[in-house]
Structure 1
Amino acid sequence: MSEDPQSSAEDDRRPTQDANAPRYTRDELIARLEIDPKFAEKAWNAFGFARRSTDDKVASENDLAALRMFAASSESMPESTKIAMARAIGQTMSHLADWEADQLRDITADPEFPWTVEQMCAALGQVQQLIWRRHIAIALERHREHAAEEEVDLVVGFADIVGYTSLSRRIDLHDLEELLGSFEDETFGVVVDHGGRVIKTLGDAVMFTFEDAHAAAEAAIRIHELSDGDRLPPLRVGLARGPVLQRFGDVFGEPVNIASRLTSSARPGSTLVDDSIAEQIGADDRFYLKSIPTLRVRGYKYLKARVLEPHKRGPLAE
Structure 2
Amino acid sequence: MTAPSSDARYSRDELVEALGIDPEYGEKIWTAFGFARQHSDAKLFSDADVAAFRLFARGAAQVDEAAQIATARTIGQSLARLADWQADQLTEFDQNPDVTWSINDMAKALNRIQQLVWRLHLEIALEGSRSSHTDHADWNTVIGFVDVVGYTSLSRQIDHHELNDLITAFEDRISAVVTRYDGQVIKTLGDGILFANPDPASSALTALDIADLSDQPPIPRLRIGLAHGEVLARLGDVFGEPVNIAARLCGSARPGKILIDENLADAIEDDDRVRLRSIPPLSVRGYRRLRAHALSRPKP
Which of 108, 112, 122 is the matching residue for 2:98? 112
What is the correspondence of 1:180-259 to structure 2 with a 5 Å cutoff?
Answer: 180-227=167-214, 229-259=216-246
Partner of 1:162: 149
Write the letter of the residue equivalent to 1:258.
Answer: I
- AA aligned to 1:35 is I
Q: Give 2:282's aligned residue.
A: 295
Q: Given the two structures, how large is their TM-score scaled by the length of structure 2? A: 0.95
C-alpha change, 1:235 and 1:19, in structure 2 (3 Å) is closer
Could you tell me which residue of structure 1 aligns to residue 59 of structure 2?
73
Deviation, 1:231, is 2.8
Deviates more, 1:37-46 or 1:144-153: 144-153
User: Are the structure 2 counterparts of residues 20 and 89 from structure 1 closer, same or farther at C-alpha, using a change threshold of 3 Å?
Assistant: farther
- Shift in alpha-carbon separation, 1:147–1:267, aligned structure 2, 3 A: closer
Aligned pairs for 1:14-33 within 5 A? 21-33=7-19
Q: Give the partner amino acid of 1:204.
A: D
The runs of 4+ residues in structure 1 deviating greater than 4 Å are: none
What is the deviation of 1:138? 1.2
CA-to-partner distance for each residue in 1:109-137, whole Å, 9 max, x for gaps? Answer: 11121211001100111111111111111
Q: 2:247 aligns with which of 260, 285, 290?
A: 260
Distance 1:262 1:144, change over 3 A: same
Query: 1:150 Cα shift?
Result: 3.5
Match of 1:39 in 2: 25
Residue in structure 2 matched with residue 308 of structure 1 by the alignment: 295
Matched AA of 1:115: W
In 2: Cα distance, 1:230 partner to 1:78 partner: 48
| Structure 1 residue aligned with 2:114 | 128
- Identity percentage of aligned residues: 49
Query: Does the CA-based 8 Å contact 1:19-1:61 persist in structure 2?
Result: no
CA–CA separation in structure 1 for the residues paired with 2:61 and 2:279: 53
Between 1 and 2, higher relative CO (CA 8 Å, sep ≥ 6) is seen in 2
* 1:82 matches 2:68: yes
| Aligned residue pair count | 296
The gaps in structure 2 that reach 5 residues or longer are none
SS state at 2:171 partner:
helix
Please tell me whether the aligned partners of residues 5 and 44 of structure 2 are also in contact (alpha carbons under 8 angstroms): no
The Cα offsets for residues 145-195 of structure 1, whole Å up to 9 and x where unpaired, read as 246893110100010101101001111111111111110111000000111
Other structure's SS at 1:49 match = coil
Residue of structure 2 equivalent to 1:97: 83
Deviates more, 1:22-31 or 1:154-163: 22-31
Which runs of 5 or more residues in structure 1 are unaligned? 1-17, 314-318
| Greater Cα offset, 221-230 or 68-77 | 221-230
Asked whether the 8 Å contact 2:165–2:218 carries over to 1, the reply is: no
Tell me if the contact between 2:137 and 2:233 (Cα under 8 Å) persists in the aligned partners: no
One-letter amino acid matched to 1:307: A
What one-letter code is carried by the residue in structure 2 that aligns with 1:130?
A: L
Query: Partner residue of 2:162?
Result: 175
Bigger CA radius of gyration: 1
Amino acid at match of 2:202: A
TM-score when normalising by structure 1: 0.90
Deviations 1:239-259 (A, max 9, x none): 001001101110111000000
State the alpha-carbon separation in 1 of the partners of residues 109 and 176 from structure 2: 24
The one-letter amino acid of 2:222's match is: L
Cα RMSD for the two superposed structures = 1.5
Q: What residue in structure 2 maps to residue 13 of structure 1?
A: none
Q: Deviations over 1:170-229 (max 9, x none)?
A: 111111111111101110000001110000000100000001011111111111222354
Name the structure 1 match of 2:262: 275
SS in 2 for 1:151: strand
